[in-house]
Chains A and B, each alone.
Chain A
Amino acid sequence: MNTKIEASAATAVPSASKRRIPPEFNIFLVLVGIALVYEILGWIFIGQSFLMNSQRLTIMILQVAVIGIIAVGVTQVIITGGIDLSSGSVVGVTAMIAASVAQASTWPRALYPALTDLPAIVPIGLGLCIGLLAGLINGWLIAKTKIPPFIATLGMMVSARGLSKWYTKGQPVSGLTDQFNFIGTGIWPVIVFLAVALIFHIALRYTRYGKFTYAIGANVQAARVSGINVEAHLIKVYAIAGMLAGLAGVVTAARAQTAQAGMGVMYELDAIAATVIGGTSLAGGVGRITGTVIGTVILGVMTSGFTFLRVDAYYQEIVKGMIIVAAVVVDVYRQKKRKTV
C-alpha cells in the first residue's frame, strides 16, 4: 500500500532543520486514493459519482463513528504495546444495561418499571461506569497478574458477551426515552467521535499521561527505571479504553433506539483494524489519534464503496480481512526497515 512512502521516511534520517511531513499524511493519501478508485469505478459501472453525494457520505461516517470512538481507546492500548479484544462485548453489555434504565414509562414491558423516564444522564453515566469497570478489570489483570493483554481481554470479551445475554435472557430492551435516543440521532454520533478524538489527541500529545503512554510502549523496562509507575499507568489506559467502549455502547443503543445482546459483535476487530491502518504499530510506542481517525474513515469508505458498487456483502468481508492483514504486513515491514537503518 504505502511501502514506497515508508522507505523514504526511513532514509530521511539526518535532515537538520526541515520539518517532517506528519506520518498521517501517507495514510491520508491512501484514503484519497481509495476514494478516487471508487469515484472512477462508479462512473464506469454505475454511471454516478461516489463522492458527490452528501447523503452517502453522511451515512458512511455515521456507520463508523461508533467504531471510531472505540478505536480512540484501542489506539492508546496498542501504543502501550497491548491489545484490547473486549471492546465489542463491552459495547453489548453497556448498551443493554444503559438501555434498561433509559426506558420510557409509556413502554409496557419496562425492565425496571420503577426506573423509567430517568434523565438521560443516568443511563449515559451508568454506561460509562460499566465500561470503565470492565477496563479497570482488564488493566488490573494485566498490570498485577502479568498475564498477556490478549488473554485478559479475551476473557473479558467472552464474559461480557455472556453477561449481556444473561441480563435479559436474550430479550432486547426497547422503548427508550427520546432524551436518551437524542445522542444517537442526526450527526451526534459523529460529533461524539470527533470530540473524543480531539480530547485524546491532546492528551497523548500534550500531557504527561501521553508521554508516559508512549514511553511504556517504546521500552517498558526503561520506562520503569525512569520512574514511571507502569502498573498504575496501564490500569489507567485500559480503563479509558473500557470507558470509551462504554460510550460507544450508549451511542449504539441510542442510535438503534433499542439494545440487543448481540450489539457490537466484531467491533473490537474493526477498531483494531482502524487503528493499525491508521499507522499505530502493534509493537507499541508509535501511533497517533489523527491516524486512527483517518483509518476509521478508510474503513467506512471501503464498506460504503462496496455497497455503492453493489458488491456482495460476502466479498466485502473477504476483502476487509485482506486489508487488515496488509496493514499489519506494512507495520512489520516498517519495523524491519527501522532495525536495518
Chain B
Amino acid sequence: MVSPTTMAAVRASGAVPKAEYLLAVEGVRKEFPGVVALDDVSFRLKRGTVHALMGENGAGKSTLMKILAGIYTPDKGEVKFKGVDIRLKSPLDALENGIAMIHQELNLMPFMTVAENIWIRREPLTRLGFVDHGEMNRKTADLFKRLNIALDPQAEVRDLSIANRQMVEIAKAVSYESDVLIMDEPTSALTEREVAHLFTIIRDLRSQGIGIVYITHKMNELFEIADEFSVFRDGKYIGTHASTDVTRDDIIKMMVGREITQMFPKEEVPIGDVVLSVKDLCLKDVFHDVSFDVRAGEILGVAGLVGSGRSNVAETLFGVTPASSGSIAINGKSVTIGSPTEAIRNRMAFLTEDRKDTGCLLILDILENMQIAVLQDKFVKMGFVDQKAVSAKCEEMARKLRVKTPNLQERIENLSGGNQQKALIGRWLLTNPRILILDEPTRGIDVGAKAEIHRLVTELARDGVAVIMISSEMPEVLGMSDRVMVMHEGRVTGFLDRAEATQVKVMELAAQ
C-alpha cells in the first residue's frame, strides 16, 4: 500500500507505466453495523470513457462511489489508481490525487463568488499575501472557456440556478486537473436543455482522456452518454457490459434478478371497504395528481426509486407538508389534513422514514417515546397525565411487540435499531389507528426484528387496519403487499396486483 503523497511523487517521477485502467477496484468489502454494503465488488474504469453505475436503492453504488472518493475506506480489497495501490484517507486526499466527486447535494458556499468557490484553498496570491482576485477571475474565465460554460466568475453562487451551480461544481472538479470525475445523478435537477449542455461537457472531458463514473437511475441517459455500465445488486457486483450490447430489459433483469428467498408471513385476509381515498393530490413542485384508494385490511405497497416522491406523499397525507391541491376522504367523508394533529384525530398513524431525525426523542426514555402520540387525546384529565394508566398500556404494548429492554425507563437511544423501531410502532399502535403509513419500516434493522415487524403488519391488516407501506426493498414490497403502487419522478406510474407484481414489472414502472 502506498500513501497518496508518495503516490504523487511516484507519478511525478514518471516511473509508473501507463496503466490500462485509470481505476481498478478488486474484491472490495465494506460493512456497516448490521449490513454488508459491499461484498467482493470489482470495478474497472478505462481512460476516456463514461462508465455508468446502475442498481436499485441500496445496491451499493453510493458506497462504492464513496470509497472511490475517499469518504469511506474499504474493510477489505484493493483500489488501484493508474496501476498503483492507493488508500485514500479523505475526500481531499482523493482530490489531490486526481479523483474528484460531484455530489448530489451541491457543496458550494452561497455567499461567495463563483471564482472564490472554485479556487477555495488554492487562491492565487499577490506578493503581499492578499488574494489576487483579478488573477483568480481570469483563471476562472479561462476554465469556463475551455468547458464552454457561459457564467460570470464574479457572480455570487446564491444567484445561480441549480443547473449553473452544477456547472460550477464540474468546473471546480476539472480545475483540479482530475483524471477521474465521479458524478452522482447529476441530471436529477436539470431541464432537458441543461442536460444536453452537461452531456456536451461530459463528451468533451471524455475526449480529453478523463474517466467519468456516472451514477444514474435513468435508463435513457445510460444509452445516450455511457460507454460501459456496471450493475450492482444487494451489495454485490453483477456484471459490466458495453452499453451498445444490451437492451433496457437486459439491464432491468440484471438489476432485479434475485431470488426471493425470504419468507413473508403474508396472510390473505378479507378486504373491507375503502377507508382512505386520495384524489389528485398535489404538492407543488414535488408530486402531482396522486390518486389511490386503500381498503380496510389491505396493505398497499409503494415502490419507487429514491426521489420519486413516495415519502413526500406520505408526509402530505399526514399533514406534515399540507397538500397544495387535491382531496382526501376517510370512510367516504372528505377531510382536510393540515397538520399531524388533525391526522391523528382522524386515526391515522405515520412511522417516518428516518428514525433518528423524525422518529425518536433520542434523549428521552422509552416510556416518554411511546406515550407521546397517545397523550394527544387520551390518558389526560385537566391537563394531568394519568401516568399509571398510560405506563401500564405502554408496558403491555412493549411486551406485545417484544421490545427488548430491561425496563421502559431506559433511554431509547440505547436500544438497537430494531427495538427502537418496535417502540415507535408501539407509539402509533397505542393511538389505535385505522390508517397506518409505514415509511421504510425495516430499514437498517436486523433480520430477526424485520421478520417480527412483518408479522406485526400482517396482524394489523387482519384486524382491519388499512396499511400503506413504502419500501425500497423489492422483496418486502412484493412479499407483503396486496397491491403495489409505483411512483416515478413525482407521479404514479402504475398499480400492480399481488398476482401480477414482479420485480421486473415494478422496476419497469419505477425507472421509465
Interface residues of A (CB under 8 A from B): 13-17, 20, 206-209, 211-212, 214-215, 218-219, 221-229, 285-286, 338, 341
Contact = CB atoms under 8 A, between A and B. Distances in A.
11 contacts: A206-B384, A211-B375, A215-B361, A223-B372, A225-B359, A227-B340, A227-B343, A228-B340, A285-B364, A338-B363, A338-B413
A227 B360 CA distance: 14
Contacts of B358: 219, 221-222, 225
Interface in B377-423: 380, 383-385, 387, 406-407, 409-410, 413-414
Given A207-B385, A215-B361, A227 B344 contact: yes
A224 B406 contact: no
In the A-B complex, the 6 residue pairs with the closest CB atoms: A218-B361, A16-B406, A227-B344, A221-B358, A226-B373, A227-B376
B341 A207 contact: no
B199 to A, nearest CB: 38
B385 A206 contact: yes
Given A16-B406, A226-B340, A215 B368 contact: yes
Given A209-B383, A211-B371, A227 B341 contact: yes
Contacts of A206: 384-385, 387
A206 B379 CA distance: 12
B329 interface: no
Contacts of A212: 372, 375
B384 A207 contact: yes
Contacts of B363: 218, 285-286, 338
Contacts of A229: 339, 341
A309 B383 CA distance: 48
Contact of A17 (B318, B362, B380, B406): B406
A211 B372 contact: yes
B320 A224 contact: yes
Contacts of A338: 363, 413
Given A222-B359, A223-B361, 6 more contacts: A14-B410, A208-B383, A219-B361, A221-B358, A229-B339, A285-B363
Q: A17, A224, A341 — which one has the most chain B CB atoms within 10 A of its CB?
A: A224
A304 B373 CA distance: 46
A14 B406 contact: yes
B414 A13 contact: yes
Interface of B: 318, 320, 339-341, 343-344, 350, 352, 357-364, 368, 371-373, 375-376, 380, 383-385, 387, 406-407, 409-410, 413-414, 427
Given A208-B380, A219-B360, A285-B361, A225 B352 contact: yes
Contacts of B343: 227
Contact of B361 (A14, A207, A222): A222
Given A207-B384, A211-B371, A285-B363, A225 B320 contact: yes
Contacts of B372: 211-212, 215, 223, 226, 228
Contacts of B320: 224-225
B148 to A, nearest CB: 41
Contacts of B341: 227-229
Contacts of A224: 320, 340
Contacts of A227: 339-341, 343-344, 373, 376
Contacts of A17: 406-407
A162 to B, nearest CB: 32
B386 to A, nearest CB: 10
Nearest to A218: B361
A103 to B, nearest CB: 38
Contact of B375 (A20, A208, A222, A341): A208
Q: A226, A286, A338 — which one has the most chain B CB atoms within 10 A of its CB?
A: A226
Given A14-B410, A221-B357, A207 B340 contact: no
Given A206-B384, A215-B364, A285-B364, A225 B340 contact: yes
Contacts of B361: 214-215, 218-219, 222-223, 285
Contacts of B360: 219, 222
A224 B360 CA distance: 12
B284 to A, nearest CB: 20
B183 to A, nearest CB: 31
Nearest to B380: A208
Contacts of B368: 211, 214-215
B427 A219 contact: no
B414 A341 contact: yes
A31 B376 CA distance: 39
A341 B410 CA distance: 13
Contacts of B407: 16-17
A207 B352 contact: no
A218 B352 contact: no
A221 B357 CA distance: 7
B375 A219 contact: no
B384 to A, nearest CB: 5
B340 A14 contact: no
Contacts of B410: 13-14
Contacts of A215: 361, 364, 368, 372
Contacts of A221: 357-358
B440 to A, nearest CB: 14
A221 B318 CA distance: 13
Contacts of B383: 207-209
Nearest to A216: B361
Contacts of B362: 218-219
B385 A208 contact: yes
Nearest to A229: B341
Q: A208, A215, A221 — which one has the most chain B CB atoms within 10 A of its CB?
A: A208
